[in-house]
Structure formats: structure tokens, C-alpha cells
Amino acid sequence: MDLLAHPSIIERRMDDQSVLARRAPNTLIAEMHRDLARLYREQLVALLTI
């Protein structure tokens, strides 16, 4: 059984990844953080549409 985090937690993680992407020392690390932010956004949308 998958346990979903509360929407506020997912939103916070998404925001954190966006900040880390802006502060990343190079483009590869920035892209990784942007990908994680997109993943959290998808999870948030999925959770809110249940």
C-alpha cells in the first residue's frame, strides 16, 4: 500500500527543489532538481484529483 504525503508536504518539497535548482553549481544538478520539482508537482496534482 502506498502512503501519500500531505499536500502541504509535497508542495514544500516541490518549492525546495525549485530553490535548489536556482542555486545549483552547474546545469546538470539544476536539471536534476527541476526534474524532482516536476515529479512532486505530478504527485500533488494526482493527490488533489483523487
* Cα–Cα distance measured from residue 1 to residue 15, given in angstroms and rounded to the nearest whole number: 27
The angle formed by the CA atoms of residues 18, 19 and 22, to the nearest 5 degrees, is 90
Model's pTM, two decimal places?
Answer: 0.86
Q: What is the pLDDT of residues 1-50, one digit of tens each?
A: 467 789 999 999 999 999 999 999 999 999 999 999 999 999 999 999 97
